[in-house]
Amino acid sequence: MTKKDKPLFCCEHCRSNISTVGPKFKLHLVVKDDSATCNLMLLGSVGKSIVAVDAEELWDGSYEEIEDPEILPEPILSLVGKSFCFGISITSDNVTNGSDTFVVLEVCSGDKVLTIETDSQSNSDMVTTSSTMSSGSAMMLDQISSDECPTPITKRKEYDYDLQDLTSSSKKQCIKIIKQEKTKND
């Protein structure tokens, strides 16, 4: 590879040019279960945890993304047909912009999936409000009770209208009448 062909990278912190870089994982997966298909993205160490080899071992020296599914490395091809439990992040890009690709924060395999689904501890102790776990059928792990619903009534689905609204815009409005003075016109 000539110096002209090699891409130039920049450090995010100091903004200096970097010519020596190491490969990292950025895996885009199409995941299917009994109910639907989902697009997931695994980055860095999360990608390494599912592939079980370093990104350097899979790198062929090219800086281009692999597009053809027929030429994928064997450790990646071996993932097809296996079952995993994914802890995903739901970002504003997913909610507001309708992005259908979710970033994976955690991956669990077969035996741990059973532990999570049959564990007696409450689901809200397992993850934060910005993530969910999915295995087979999707399940929401952070459940908010109806007494503390943070969603304004105007944004709720029709079956949620009976929940108490706790936003400042729905509190009792001030009804005190203020007298206005008449001004003299010359």
Would residue 1 count as lying in a domain? no
Would residue 92 count as lying in a domain? yes
DSSP for 44-109 reads HHHHHHHH-S-HHHH--S--SPP--GGG--HHHHTTTT--EEEEEE--HHHHTS---EEEEEEEEE
- Spatial CA neighbour of 72 closest among 85, 60, 63: 60
Q: Per-residue pLDDT tens, the chain, 186 aa: give them.
A: 455 566 677 887 888 888 777 778 888 888 888 888 889 998 888 888 888 888 888 777 666 777 776 778 888 888 888 888 888 888 888 888 888 899 998 888 766 554 444 443 333 333 333 444 444 433 333 333 344 445 555 555 555 555 555 555 555 666 677 777 777 775
User: Could you list the residue range(s) of the whole structural domain that residue 44 is in?
Assistant: 22-165
* pTM confidence score: 0.50
Would residue 17 count as lying in a domain? no
CA dihedral defined by 157, 158, 162, 168, rounded to 10 degrees? 50
Number of domains in the chain: 1
Query: Which amino acid type is present at position 184?
Result: K
Would residue 75 count as lying in a domain? yes
